[in-house]
Amino acid sequence: MAKTILILGGGPVGVETSGEIATHYPNAKTTLLSGGSRVLTRLPIRCSESTESQLKRKKVEVIHNVRGVPQPKNDDGTTTLKLSDGTFRTVDVFIDATGNKPNSSFLPASRLNSRGYILVDEKTLRCTAPGASDVYALGDVASYSDGSILAAIMSVVPVGRSIGIDIAAKAGKKFPLAQKEYSAIKDSQFVPVGPSGG
């Protein structure tokens, strides 16, 4: 029943969410506040431009260089956001897609960097904190990761080899496979913009 939807954040989650909503609810006014000068800032500009064109074809309003802070929910269920340009916008549905926060609050602070990510060697994914030689991390909780699905997929074999090598060494044996090092795939992300492209 929503007539106005605002998504905050121009990264992969914000782009995918706005594209899906605009596809399945074309009568609703969908707005994406990128928060920066373009969407998908980790990718080359041509990818950002292509993505924005796809969103605009779906009638998504894309606004750059404006951030928003949601205010307490209104009595009627709507949300008012105070925008960084000094204006206010009230919408039926507000979705915060401004980025992930690592699920690491239960870990000792000595194993985390200043942003809360687990400190790991960028190649072997072994924790580099003192006293944590039996700790390994992969995915968007680890300091090496850019938070993408590609980073998670590409880290499975390196972390598996690290674990195998370390277990074999503790048993006084040699692991039969060499250490595989993590290597990031640059300038690539999987970002759907609705069910038929991305």
For residue 47, give its domain range: 4-96
pLDDT at 99: 76
* Closest CA relative to residue 34, chosen from 57, 59, 53, 61: 61
Tell whether 21 and 68 lie within a shared domain.
Answer: yes
Strand duo 68-70 + 79-83: pairing = antiparallel
Tell whether 128 and 73 lie within a shared domain.
Answer: no
CB 99 within 8 A of CB 15: no
How many other C-beta atoms are found inside a 10 Å radius of the C-beta of residue 195? Answer: 10
According to the 3-state scheme, what is the secondary structure of the chain? Answer: CCCEEEEECCCHHHHHHHHHHHHHCCCCEEEEECCCCCCCCCCCHHHHHHHHHHHHHCCCEEECCCCEEECCCCCCCCEEEEECCCCEEEECEEEECCCCCCCCCCCCHHHECCCCCECECCCCCEECCCCCCCCECCCCCECCCCCCHHHHHHHHHHHHHHHHHHHHHHCCCCCCCCCCCCCCCCCCCCCCCCCCCC
Q: Burial, 68: exposed, middle or buried (Cβ in 10 Å; 0-12, 13-18, 19+)?
A: buried
pLDDT at 155: 96
User: Cα separation of 163 and 135, whole Å?
Assistant: 9
Tell whether 34 and 82 lie within a shared domain.
Answer: yes
Asked if residue 198 belongs to a domain, the reply is no
pTM of the model: 0.76
Asked if residue 157 belongs to a domain, the reply is yes
Tell whether 87 and 11 lie within a shared domain.
Answer: yes
Which of the listed residues 68, 96, 124 is the one where a domain comes to its end?
Answer: 96
pLDDT at 55: 97
pLDDT at 43: 87
Tell whether 122 and 91 lie within a shared domain.
Answer: no
User: Cα separation of 122 and 61, whole Å?
Assistant: 38
- C-alpha angle 129/131/133, rounded to 5°? 80
Tell whether 11 and 80 lie within a shared domain.
Answer: yes
Tell whether 22 and 67 lie within a shared domain.
Answer: yes
* Domain at 38, CATH number: 3.50.50.60
Each residue's pLDDT, cut to its tens digit, for the chain (198 residues) gives 999 999 999 999 999 999 999 999 999 999 999 999 999 998 889 999 999 999 999 999 999 999 999 888 999 999 999 999 999 999 999 999 997 789 999 999 999 999 999 999 999 999 999 999 899 999 989 999 988 888 999 999 999 999 999 999 999 999 999 999 999 887 778 888 988 888
Strand duo 29-33 + 61-63: pairing = parallel
Which of the listed residues 64, 96, 128 is the one where a domain comes to its end?
Answer: 96
Asked if residue 193 belongs to a domain, the reply is no
pLDDT at 46: 93
Beta-bridge partners for 118: 112, 142
Counting the structural domains of the chain, the total is 2
Asked if residue 149 belongs to a domain, the reply is yes
Which of the listed residues 39, 62, 96 is the one where a domain comes to its end?
Answer: 96
Tell whether 92 and 139 lie within a shared domain.
Answer: no
Tell whether 71 and 119 lie within a shared domain.
Answer: no
Tell whether 85 and 129 lie within a shared domain.
Answer: no
